Structure 1
Amino acid sequence: MTKSTIDPIIEISNIRKSFGSVHVLNGISMAVKPGSVVCIIGPSGSGKSTLLRCINALVPIDAGTIRVGEFQVEKLHTEKQLVPLRHKVSMVFQQYNLFPHRTVLENIVMAPVKVLGQNRAEVEKRALELLGKVKLSGKEKAYPGQLSGGQQQRVAIARALAMQPQVILFDEVTAALDPEMVKEVLNVIRDLASEGMTCVLVTHEMRFAEEVADEVYFTDRGVIVEHGPPGQMFKNPKDERFREFLSKVL
């Protein structure tokens, strides 16, 4: 079965979200196939990060529907209802959000043990394997303050993977990093994508989006202006707003 014949793992239909009088999402629809990489690009303030937060119910939507696997996200309201969703969908933020007073290992094992109730010894074994995956073997006893920004972001990715998700959302994960650290984080995401992890990324790294994405969405003012395969999007953009955006960032 090819990706094109598989049902989407994420289906978003006509969602809307306002903060007070500011309309942030104005009828967004998209579908994400299992094992695919979707990159969302666009100017600052176009609703990209809010869209990601709506997918795993960090932000409730005002209208429309979001389905992730078997979960109808807008119908989940209590923490008990949300735990299985957060097991399926992990998120990595621009700011690493690591606990500074806990070691790297503790940061990774906390959620699987405390939220999912998994066996600590098994989770620690998995955490050490994940540190190898993100090329941080030997750093398990370090504290976040002893690591570079790129290393902290890779710990955050390992922490997300420790929940054994089916989908990972990446919210501008390289935006706060020095240029030389960007590459090491993108390499980890590239590896995850090549292994078949479903990834949805909000990113300003256009060349990376062109290289790894199966589908690229360009958003502006809370709507999807244009979307398609990266080859089509970057080499033959149809919408004037998108062409103008690319002229500024490429």
Structure 2
Amino acid sequence: MSASPTDQRQIVIRDLVKSYGSHTVLNGVSLDVRQSEIACLIGPSGSGKSTLLRTINALANVDSGTIDVCGIRVTDRDPDLLTLRRQVGMIFQSYNLFPHLSVLDNITLAPLTVLKEERGPAEQRARALLDKVKLTGKEAAFPGQLSGGQQQRVAIARSLAMRPRVMMFDEVTAALDPETVKEVLTTIRDVAASGVTCLIVTHEMRFAREIADVVHFTDGGRIVESGTPEQIFTAPRDSRTRAFLERVL
């Protein structure tokens, strides 16, 4: 588990409502994530976890409520999306790497085009990040030549190249076979240990218990219960939390 987070809140969500047609996916969600905190969202499929991440990164609009991330009001009519995307990295289970670009080019593309970095420093940082995710020597490889776990770690390195203050992970191990899950989870643990604020949607309960500062259990579009891993996993207060954990543990 990481060191104690500061009191500075980097994600502040209040009374968030999001519907698709007549189906309400988020039903009054309020959530705080503090600087350097590792927060895990757990809960049954369809409980709104992934949708919540998408609203935080302005990939989905909301019906009502407010979202503030790193001082940016995401729910404003015209939010500063460029600054938001620089501050917040998001990793999906589908990798989203460019198949026609090498690993090195995948990682340096955004720093070169968005941050306007010089190629030399950008490539130097990319190589350092590949070393961080234990993929030194794969600079010239293309995504199709890598395993799923390796592609996911490249995606993490690519996001870190933008120097984000917040990283969000959406079920990043869901598409991986059990043998490669561990290497990706180890990488996320290293990212969190470097001081980056992490918000993680995961079905890996053991990982959530080991790494999280705070665990939020979601059900029916609401955050039903929040607490330390010890409290959530050993003495959950809400009957819905207990029923869910009995099914998955």
TM-score, length of structure 1 as denominator length: 0.96
Structure 1: 4+ residue segments shifted above 6 A: none
Which residue number in structure 2 is paired with residue 32 of structure 1?
A: 33
Which residue number in structure 1 is paired with residue 76 of structure 2?
A: 75
Larger mean CA deviation between 134-143 and 68-77 belongs to 68-77
**Equivalent residues of 1:76, 1:82 under 8 A apart:** no
State the shift of 1:3 in Å: 4.9
| Matched position secondary structure for 1:67 | strand
State the shift of 1:22 in Å: 1.2
**Equivalent residues of 2:149, 2:183 under 8 A apart:** yes
Question: Identity across aligned pairs (percent)?
Answer: 60
Given the superposition, is the C-alpha separation of residues 132 and 4 from structure 1 closer, same or farther in structure 2, using an over 3 Å criterion?
A: closer
Name stretches of at least 5 consecutive residues in structure 1 with no aligned partner: none
Name stretches of at least 5 consecutive residues in structure 2 with no aligned partner: none
Given the superposition, is the C-alpha separation of residues 4 and 162 from structure 1 closer, same or farther in structure 2, using an over 3 Å criterion?
A: closer
CA distances 1:127-177 after superposition (whole Å, capped 9, x unpaired): 110000000001010000000000000000001100100000000000000
Q: Counterparts of 1:114 and 1:27 in 2: how far apart (Å)?
A: 38
Which residue number in structure 2 is paired with residue 15 of structure 1?
A: 16
Which residue number in structure 2 is paired with residue 198 of structure 1?
A: 197
Residue identity matched to 1:149:
G
State the shift of 1:4 in Å: 6.3
TM-score, length of structure 2 as denominator length: 0.96
**Equivalent residues of 2:108, 2:126 under 8 A apart:** yes
Given the superposition, is the C-alpha separation of residues 12 and 143 from structure 1 closer, same or farther in structure 2, using an over 3 Å criterion?
A: same
CA distances 1:29-60 after superposition (whole Å, capped 9, x unpaired): 01011001000000001100000011111111
1:208-223 equivalences in 2 (<5 Å): 208-223=207-222
Which residue number in structure 1 is paired with residue 168 of structure 2?
A: 169
Is 1:226 aligned with 2:225?
A: yes
Residue identity matched to 1:176:
A
State the shift of 1:211 in Å: 0.5
Which residue number in structure 1 is paired with residue 51 of structure 2?
A: 50
Which residue number in structure 1 is paired with residue 121 of structure 2?
A: 122
Q: Counterparts of 1:210 and 1:3 in 2: how far apart (Å)?
A: 16
Please provide the CA RMSD for this pair. 1.3
Q: Counterparts of 1:190 and 1:60 in 2: how far apart (Å)?
A: 30
State the shift of 1:193 in Å: 1.5
Residue identity matched to 1:39:
C
Given the superposition, is the C-alpha separation of residues 248 and 169 from structure 1 closer, same or farther in structure 2, using an over 3 Å criterion?
A: same
